[in-house]
Structure 1
Amino acid sequence: MMYTGVFALLVYIAVILVWALVIKRNMAEGMLLGLIAVSLFSGSQILNFLIDGLVSALFNEVLYASLAFIIMSFLMIESGLIQKILAIFNALLGKIKGGPAFLNITISALFGMLSGSNSANTATSGTFTSQWMIETGWKPEIVSTLVAGNGGLGAGFPPSASMFIMLGFAKVSGLVDEGELYLGLFVSGLYQVIYRIFLVSYLMRKQDIKVILPHSQLSTFQIIKKNWTALLIFLGAIIPILLTIGPLSQFLSNYGMAEALESISLLTWIPTLMIALCLILGWQQLKDKVLNINYCAEHLFPQFKTIGGVLLFAFAASEVLANLGLEKGLTQIFTMLNLPKALMVLLIAILVVLVAGPLSSTATLTSIGLIAFTGLTSAGVPPLLAVVSILVFASTEGASPPASGSIFIASSLAQVEPEKTFYPLIIYFVIPILIIGWLIAMGILPLFV
């Protein structure tokens, strides 16, 4: 049947939504049930489809990269490298009017390139800046709004679990180069940062914001001198990118290293090198923790449970849906709709944003990432622009009422009622970010890749 894959996708989405929103159980469990549900559409071939899907997922390097970044984030926190990086940015921005708000943007962008988690971004940056912002004159509800909205940079910058999920779809990975996607998402993240800087500047003029100097006896130079080695962690991302993209890559390729450079996978080497650098830079603080199996079992291993299950079963379901003919069915449906490109992009943007309201960005893209990609490409959007714009749409998850974890984290840190942030979050973050994604998909905002 031509539309078997489409019907299977609808059932898959329904199972995940019911499990997450009605039954309120673990998302990984919902993904497993969704995998079983779509496999049932294969009839007597269910066992073969299940096995093929799981084997494909287990050999997907995206799964490794996602789990590796969890280890890296754990090592950065436990080694104290994060605190050193924060101290540097505090020293650089703390004396500027509105400094805490700009620092919150900086931290969220920085951690977006490290952790890829909206909620983690909100918790980390908010813990460091929320009360500082209130002390300098920001209203608590605005503080909560900015902290939750800026947390969306966790999914707005590469690498992120959302990016990995999109690359895990066979149709996407066959059309989009991982290096170009990494740079494209980085550029789109910069667009989001620029918008947030203008937003903070605008809100600052509406309030009587004062400068309160950071509580430190050390000069900016002394703080940087004391903590600069923590910045070496970024070499883990810079080195693989320089070797695979740009002038250095071209120069080395001209000297007979093209084949070797092409074998370098950013998804594999960026987290691997960052883990190695974390261990080197923070070994004195880490050795008693990483060598203690009980400590790891209590603090590290539980973090694998949800994200590992979500990605494993999501990729397996993607393979099953592909084998059921999802791509052909969706292509025919979008061809029949025959909507203008601008309208098609807008409708898909709204669909992704609405689903991102109650779900996380990863769950959103697991559910409708492939259908959004197929819709955009069928409307004439180039594959790279399609993936980047979808990731931008999904990054509104941190600012989307009513069920975003970032909203409740930020509200608790600023000690305000979450409901007071719903309207400003939609006005200041959800709608503008949707527009940024639309402009990227339409080719108006260039990605330079």
Structure 2
Amino acid sequence: MAGVWALVAFVGVIIVWNAVFKRNIGEAMIMGFLAVCAFAVFGGVEGGGSPLEAIGSAVLDAMQEEVTFAGLAFVFMSYLLTRTPVLDRLIDLLNSVLGRLRGGPVYTATVAGGIFGAIAHVGAAVTAAVGSVTVPWMKRSGVKPELAATVVAGGAGMGVTFPFSSTMFILVGGLAAQGIMQPDEIVKPLALAGLWCLGYRLVLVFFLVRRHGIEPISAADRMPFGRSLRTGWTSLLLFVPILVPLLLTRGPLAELLGAYSGVGDELKEPVELADGTTLPAQAYAMPDVISLITWIPVLMIALVLLLGRKHLPRRASGWWSAVAEAAPSFGVIGITIVAAFSASNLLADLGLADQLKTVLSGLQAPGWIMAIAIGVIIVAIAIPLTASATMAAVGPVAVAALVGAGIPAPIAAAAVLIFASTEGASPPSGAPIYVASGIARVDPVKTFLPLLSYYCLPILGMGVLIAVGALPV
């Protein structure tokens, strides 16, 4: 059970180093990773490989993660936006339409997270697309940066709670192979479960708006719609970097491009790429070749450079100074992400998934106790892993355990996906946390406790209520 104890040590060391010793989250994440390394060095890794090689590979893979790039890219994008009037004009336009509503930007961020989550399904991509506009808008409307980042990261899980995410297909594929349920049986329960989760988030926003005293934008600070549209219509182009990757990966245009390029065709044999990577013989889709989380910040930065060119440096010395001003944010976000993913990779090498699967297989209790126990275990697994990896590792076993306790398979599967959807709100390793914090330019640790109390634990509770039938699906 070295992997399980390493996970406990990872989280415990981070909490102590950050909360007790009052050190920054970057240091805390490094110390947590070193604790996991100690388990690898003294206890060995699965397969009997070299612990040092496993550690090196874990760090290298973490540095090559697209979320690492995206987190840093969003920090730079956010910095550029503060140097130009592009975003200010868009916010003036949005405020002229919704600014009269109390907490309008916060409600918009939550609903947009549900809509985008039902389309894109990738938590970090949902955060990136929604947060790019709504986080600066919330900050401009008087919402604290840490609360803005919390709301956007807390909505990332809706990509899993609505059909038809890759996480859902990973789970139902394993269940169908075992004859537990058919894939189409989960669609209705999961859609209703997703609506319950969205409804909870809207109630939460109602509470947060009043608790934090968020008021409507005063009439004196709101431009008339006609004037804001005339002066800021070009700022609407900021939605283009979000829409273009989305249209190229989903929908009719994506299908046409896939058919033309052969992306959707099954490879007859493994293909070795120029960098040495080998693609196995399987079918790929457009989202596999065009990453939303990579291309949204790239296109956003390019557009801001174009629209705000008159307000940006024109010489190399000016750009050097600009990058130097943003460097502290790069350091904290970058180190934190790399340490989080390095620990995740190394925990996998320690056999965390198989060990937790053994724990799940041995559980026997009444339905409500099983729902709570399995929910807690899956939420714990989702701390270092993505929802998809969690479902691949223990999803079918978790559903089978709930079915054995008398819970219908489709409802059990929906509940398990709800549990896994906490990945975006599970400190300290949830990728959406760092994407949102990068956009808000805030210390990620300031979102940890709010995410746990407002999103992670309540969503865990909703999954339990769905499993036991208290929330009908």
Question: Does the alignment pair 1:83 with 2:88?
Answer: yes
On the 8 A contact 2:313/2:319 being kept in 1, the answer is no
Report the 3-state secondary structure (helix = DSSP H, G, I; strand = E; otherwise coil) of the residue aligned with 2:219.
Answer: coil
| Counterpart-to-counterpart distance in 2, 1:435 and 1:68 | 35
Alignment of 1:61-76 (within 5 A): 61-76=66-81
Residue 307 of structure 1: how far off its partner (Å): 1.4
Query: Which of 115, 128, 133 is the equivalent residue of 2:141?
Result: 128
C-alpha distance 41-104 of structure 1, shift in aligned 2 (>3 A): closer
**Which residue of 346, 351, 376 corresponds with 1:320?**
346
1:361 aligns with none
Alignment TM-score, normalising by the size of structure 2? 0.62
Residue 181 of structure 1 aligns with which residue? Answer: none
Counterpart residue number, 2:424: 391
Q: Residues 153 and 189 of structure 1 are in contact (CA less than 8 Å); yes or no, is this contact kept in structure 2? A: no
Amino acid at match of 1:280: L
String of CA shifts for 1:132-172, please: whole Å, max 9, x gaps. xxxxxxxxxxxx9xx97665322034599x99xxxxxxxx8
Structure 1 residue runs of 5 or longer lacking an equivalent are 131-143, 164-171, 177-186, 356-363, 409-421
Deviation track 1:383-417 (CA, whole Å, cap 9, x = no partner) reads 8655424435769999xxxx983699xxxxxxxxx
Residue 308 of structure 1: aligned partner: 334
User: 8 Å contact 1:8–1:38 — kept in the other structure?
Assistant: yes
Query: Which shows bigger deviation, 434-443 or 65-74?
Result: 434-443
What's the RMSD between the two structures over aligned residues?
Answer: 5.2
CA contact (8 A) 1:79 1:286 kept: yes
Secondary structure class of the residue paired with 2:22:
coil
- The match for 1:358 is none
Per the TM alignment, residue 309 of structure 1 is displaced from its structure 2 partner at its CA by 0.6
CA distance in structure 1 between the partners assigned to 2:150 and 2:336 by the alignment: 20
1:8 and 2:10 equivalent? no
- Secondary structure of 1:15's match? helix
Instruction: Quote how far apart the aligned CAs of 1:273 are.
Output: 1.2
Residue correspondence of structure 1 range 80-159 to structure 2 within 5 A: 80-95=85-100, 99-106=101-108, 113-114=127-128, 125=138, 128-129=141-142, 152-158=150-156
Indicate if the aligned counterparts of 1:148 and 1:407 stay in contact, CA closer than 8 A.
no
Aligned to 1:405: 446
Whether the 8 Å CA contact 2:33–2:340 is kept in 1: the answer is: yes
Report what 2:33 is aligned to. Answer: 35
Partner of 2:303: 277
2:230 maps to which residue? 225
AA in 2 matched with 1:337: L
Cα pair distance change 1:341/1:127, threshold 3 Å:
farther
Letter of the 2:383 partner, please give it.
L
Gaps of 5+ in 2: 43-49, 114-125, 161-166, 172-191, 265-284, 400-412, 437-443
AA matched with 2:338 = L
SS of equivalent to 1:284: helix
Letter of the aligned partner of 2:250 in structure 1? I
Identity of aligned residues (%): 29
Q: Does 1:335 align with 2:340?
A: no
What does residue range 48-59 of structure 1 map to in structure 2 within 5 Å?
48-59=53-64
Provide the secondary structure at the position in 2 that maps to 1:69: helix
Q: Secondary structure at the match of 1:365?
A: coil
Aligned letter for 2:255?
Answer: Q
- TM-score norm. by structure 1 comes to 0.65
Aligned residues of 1:88 and 1:227 also touching (Cα < 8 A): yes
SS class of match (1:300)? helix
How far, CA to CA, are the matches of 1:151 and 1:390 in structure 2?
A: 15
Greater mean deviation of Cα atoms: 73-82 or 328-337 = 73-82
The Cα of 1:25 is off from its aligned counterpart by 0.9
